[in-house]
A = this chain, B = another copy of it.
Amino acid sequence: MIKVSVMYPNSSDANFDIEYYCNIHFPLVVELLGDTLKGTNADFGLAGGAPGEMAPFIAIGHLMFDSVESFQNAFGPHAEKIMADIPNFTNTQPQIQISEIKI
């Protein structure tokens, strides 16, 4: 199983509309990717590791697939529509991490 993590970096001038993300963006991604999507979750940053430290990421969306190929086949045809929705809820540029879920 692989996980695609879409990580929105935190900073003092970053903004992020959690309601839009949860109610419009995330459901849109789930609908477009369909059955190839094997699991999802979304995390919202509360804190970093040191007292008073900001979370490194405002939000991280995780999408699970059987394989990298399965992700690419599902995402490719909808990439433009999904990416075009990002400025509707944040002024940040997400970092993408593709991982193998090992444990």
Interface residues of A (CB under 8 A from B): 2-3, 5, 7, 18, 22, 26, 40-50, 55-57, 60, 68, 94-103
Each complex incorporates copies of this chain amounting to: 2
Please list 9 pairs of residues, one from A and one from B, whose beta carbons are closer than 8 Å in the complex, sorted by A's number: A40-B103, A41-B103, A47-B98, A48-B95, A48-B98, A49-B94, A49-B98, A57-B97, A57-B99
CB distance from A55 to the nearest CB of B (A): 5
Residue from the list B26, B42, B46, B100 in contact with A44, Cβ < 8 A? B100
A contact patch SS = strand
| Bound-complex Cα distance A97 to B46 (A) | 8
When A97-B57, A99-B55 are in contact, do A46 and B68 touch as well, CB less than 8 Å? yes
When A26-B103, A41-B103 are in contact, do A46 and B95 touch as well, CB less than 8 Å? no
CB distance from A83 to the nearest CB of B (A): 10
